[in-house]
């Protein structure tokens, strides 16, 4: 008999990335495929504080179609890709207060521009980045979610310029990532 275990998958499920459930499902299906090959039976053990999470139901049943259908409906209802577009605005600097002032200013300016342009764009944040501090630099994130990327990019350009400026009023560094692969 072969044996595989997935310990503490909750860490992957709790990430602040809309793709985290998809990644967890991929991992679970891959691990379960490794346990039990040919004539050798296998066993998989999953450790989770949330065993009722739907991803486990789909993974245990190897129900790829069911998982995809549920994930597509979630993304459609949430406006996530492929039904919407995202842009992450990162603000970072050595001084927490300056970074927070810059992040608040940028979020307020983006929200004001969205209202002025009468666009269907969500401005989420600012919030601490998942990894809040790297190399003594404080990090904040603002997420924009829109159905139409050109309008979202126009709002960003109206506030931060085109190409986006690299410094905010209080000296924080600014980076814009359209359609980010990770929301860290």
Interval 76-114: pLDDT, tens: 998 888 898 999 999 999 999 999 999 999 999 999 999
Residues 106-133 have a mean pLDDT of 90
Residues 124-144 have a mean pLDDT of 92
Domains in the chain, ordered, with CATH? 2-78 (no CATH), 85-178 (3.30.70.600)
DSSP for 129-177 reads EEEEEETTEEEEEEEEEES-HHHHHHHHHHHHTTTTPSB-TTS-EEEEE
pLDDT at position 38 is 67
pLDDT at position 5 is 82
pLDDT at position 15 is 78
Residues 43-47 have a mean pLDDT of 86
Higher pLDDT pick, 162 / 175: 175
Residue located via tokens 């990644």? 23
pLDDT at position 122 is 92
pLDDT at position 88 is 92
Reported pTM: 0.75
pLDDT at position 2 is 79
Per-residue confidence band for 147, with pLDDT thresholds at 50, 70 and 90 = confident
Rounded (5°) CA angle 179-183-184: 140
Task: Using the predicted structure, report yes or no on whether residue 163 has a pLDDT greater than 80.
Answer: no
In the predicted model, what is the mean pLDDT of the chain? 88
pLDDT at position 1 is 66
Give burial (CB, 10 Å; 0-12/13-18/19+) of 79: middle
Q: How far is CA 95 from CA 60, 139, 171, in A?
A: 47, 10, 9
Per-residue confidence band for 58, with pLDDT thresholds at 50, 70 and 90 = very high
């Amino acid at each position: 008999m072969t044996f595989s275990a997935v310990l503490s998958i909750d860490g992957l499920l709790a990430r602040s990335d809309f793709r985290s459930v998809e990644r967890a499902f991929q991992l679970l299906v891959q691990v379960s495929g490794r346990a039990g090959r040919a004539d050798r039976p296998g066993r998989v053990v999953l450790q989770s504080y949330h065993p009722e999470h739907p991803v486990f139901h789909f993974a245990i049943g190897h129900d790829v179609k069911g998982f995809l259908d549920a994930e597509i409906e979630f993304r459609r209802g949430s406006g996530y890709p492929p039904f919407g577009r995202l842009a992450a605005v990162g603000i970072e600097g050595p001084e927490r207060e300056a970074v927070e002032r810059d992040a608040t200013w940028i979020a307020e300016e983006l929200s004001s521009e969205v209202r002025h342009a009468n666009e269907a764009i969500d401005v989420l944040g600012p919030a601490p980045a998942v990894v809040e501090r790297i190399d003594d630099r404080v990090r904040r994130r603002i997420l924009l979610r829109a159905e139409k990327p050109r309008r979202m990019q126009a709002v960003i350009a109206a506030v931060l310029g085109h190409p986006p400026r690299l410094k905010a009023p209080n000296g924080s560094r600014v980076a814009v990532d359209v359609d980010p692969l990770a929301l860290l």
